[in-house]
A and B are shown apart, each in its own frame.
Chain A
């Protein structure tokens, strides 16, 4: 896709901190966390859990874009829920989030998101996708966490590195069945119904996702899983107080530990997000000035030239294409 076709949507990192910041901007009291395991204990810890997001990219060369894909489930052209096509590649992360949010019943949202969802009621997926992509406020919220274009690199005709875009697929329950929402597919995909007992929809989701992962040849896929869940922070404080009043020491300590971890995680996210939004050119210059003032710059430059020379020689020896940036 050319830059014009990306319509001003910038590529963002697919990081829980980035997603959670977007949710905050949308006025939604949910967070996104990394999911390291699909076992029942891990999932139970994250309840209330609303959707799973599966993100992946091909690493094996020679595979076509489509790949094996999901083997189970059927297209549901009459899906009554919220499903939008991915119209702009760079918007894929935000689009996946919206496909999830639009199907969570009684979700508190900010006014703009609420309007967008109700405005698109009854639209076909393609039109809905276009509506989402043309929402300026949404695009601005999305772009906040990509590097600022104080240096606009697009106009400089720099050689493009191979794109690292992930593909996103959302799994969540809608009206008693597990649905798979993939913005690149023509329709929502309906997997089986589930019973509310025990783990409910998560049991079916686990089976479907594990089956999907197993269809890819070993080592051909880089993927991760994210969980879209209620933000635990607001209620943690009151739960701790309840445990204190009930004299339940064990629970109190467990909850305090959870609170500490959660706060540490939020601080890390806030730190990383502030770096993402920041224009670092001034800092780069200031650091070089520190090196220059302490007389270390020319030595560093000389060493860097040697490192570059070695790198080039190694590449030549391996017969690699010199066009690839380091």
Chain B
């Protein structure tokens, strides 16, 4: 499906893709000439698109929620390689800059990151002083369709053992079937957070917080709500199963609507880490509004 540079294109620049070779952790650049475009879609969502410049076909079209993804340089590579990473999933997409000169690489990357955090981010270009929301995409990609291949394209880069190690940590998630997003920093499970061992001391040290839980207890308990009842509930197999079930659902990243009902922003539904961040942010706000609290 051809994607043209339209008014809804926030920025675009020449870039190729790189892929992990099957059965190994080596990432190899694909020589196809392409472009990365960031656009505001008809669906009101931010799209990260990779288009093949020779066929004019968009071969990747990723929808990105604010703060979920980052676009960072893979420092340990010879080439100008960048990786698009998500906090809500294990997805990794590798790209390499194809513009003749590397002078503007950082500029493009910083703008991409800015927009990934916030689609309203004002783009900053080195040449023009005042920033505007629609930066000159034409400047980036279409000055000549025949790029100066020998200089721009360095297809294929071989990673040294140290570089391989680094790539391995990024890629292990892609190889593993479930569980840790990165081998070094696995994601927490709500089941391990909401343990009686963690909760019981809280109830003892902050008894004033226990009644805040009462509205969320089952309405048809055969006894009135109390701290003892809360203790019984958090120990119960039914509650523990519900925590595991919610944990599993949250990992799908699809709970944007449900978390809004909890008074959290939609991004909180993208995964465990975004959810916990949003909860902490809300708690901090409420603490401030209440005039501060002693924290342990």
Q: Could you tell me which A residues sit within 8 Å of B by CB distance?
A: 147, 150-151, 153, 156-159, 267, 270-272, 274-298, 300-305, 307-309, 312, 321-323, 325-326
The answer to whether A151 touches B258, judged by C-beta atoms less than 8 angstroms apart, is: yes
Specify the main secondary structure of chain A where it touches its partner.
Answer: helix
Residue on B nearest A296 in the bound complex, by CB: B202
Contacts of B185 in A (CB 8 A): 305
The answer to whether A286 touches B193, judged by C-beta atoms less than 8 angstroms apart, is: no
The answer to whether B252 touches A156, judged by C-beta atoms less than 8 angstroms apart, is: yes
The answer to whether B187 touches A276, judged by C-beta atoms less than 8 angstroms apart, is: no
Could you name 12 residue pairs across A and B whose Cβ atoms are closer than 8 Å? A151-B246, A271-B232, A284-B242, A286-B212, A287-B194, A287-B234, A288-B279, A292-B284, A293-B209, A308-B186, A312-B186, A322-B176
Stretch among B51-59, B87-95, B158-166, B220-228 lining the A interface: B220-228
The count of residues in chain B whose C-beta lies closer than 8 Å to any C-beta of chain A is 63
The answer to whether B179 touches A267, judged by C-beta atoms less than 8 angstroms apart, is: no
Contacts of B187 in A (CB 8 A): 305, 308
Residue B283 contacts which of A281, A282, A293 (CB distance < 8 angstroms)? A293
Q: How far is the CA of A290 from the CA of B205 in the complex (A)?
A: 11
Contacts of A276 in B (CB 8 A): 238
Residue on A nearest B213 in the bound complex, by CB: A286
The answer to whether A294 touches B296, judged by C-beta atoms less than 8 angstroms apart, is: yes
Q: How far is the CA of A263 from the CA of B183 in the complex (A)?
A: 52
The answer to whether A322 touches B246, judged by C-beta atoms less than 8 angstroms apart, is: no
The answer to whether A158 touches B179, judged by C-beta atoms less than 8 angstroms apart, is: no
Q: Write the nearest CB–CB distance from A43 to chain B, whole angstroms.
A: 29
Contacts of B255 in A (CB 8 A): 151
Q: How far is the CA of A151 from the CA of B258 in the complex (A)?
A: 8
| Residue interface mask B207-225, A partner, CB < 8 A = 1 | 0010011011111111100
Tell me if B138 counts as interface (CB < 8 A to partner A). Answer: no
Q: Write the nearest CB–CB distance from A292 to chain B, whole angstroms.
A: 3
Residue on A nearest B220 in the bound complex, by CB: A274
The answer to whether A159 touches B178, judged by C-beta atoms less than 8 angstroms apart, is: yes
Residue on B nearest A293 in the bound complex, by CB: B283
The answer to whether B192 touches A307, judged by C-beta atoms less than 8 angstroms apart, is: yes
Residue on A nearest B275 in the bound complex, by CB: A288
Tell me if B100 counts as interface (CB < 8 A to partner A). Answer: no
Query: Which B residues, 226 to 272, have Cβ-Cβ distances below 8 Å to chain A?
Result: 232-234, 236, 238-239, 241-246, 248-249, 252, 254-255, 258, 262, 264
Contacts of B179 in A (CB 8 A): 308, 312, 322
The answer to whether A294 touches B276, judged by C-beta atoms less than 8 angstroms apart, is: no
Q: How far is the CA of A17 from the CA of B284 in the complex (A)?
A: 42
Q: How far is the CA of A151 from the CA of B185 in the complex (A)?
A: 28
Tell me if B287 counts as interface (CB < 8 A to partner A). Answer: yes
The answer to whether A326 touches B189, judged by C-beta atoms less than 8 angstroms apart, is: yes
The answer to whether B295 touches A308, judged by C-beta atoms less than 8 angstroms apart, is: no
The answer to whether A274 touches B222, judged by C-beta atoms less than 8 angstroms apart, is: yes
Contacts of B199 in A (CB 8 A): 287, 290-291
The list of the 7 closest CB pairs from A to B, nearest first, reads A295-B295, A292-B283, A304-B188, A304-B192, A280-B242, A275-B238, A278-B218
Q: How far is the CA of A284 from the CA of B223 in the complex (A)?
A: 21
Contacts of A294 in B (CB 8 A): 202, 205-206, 209, 293, 295-296
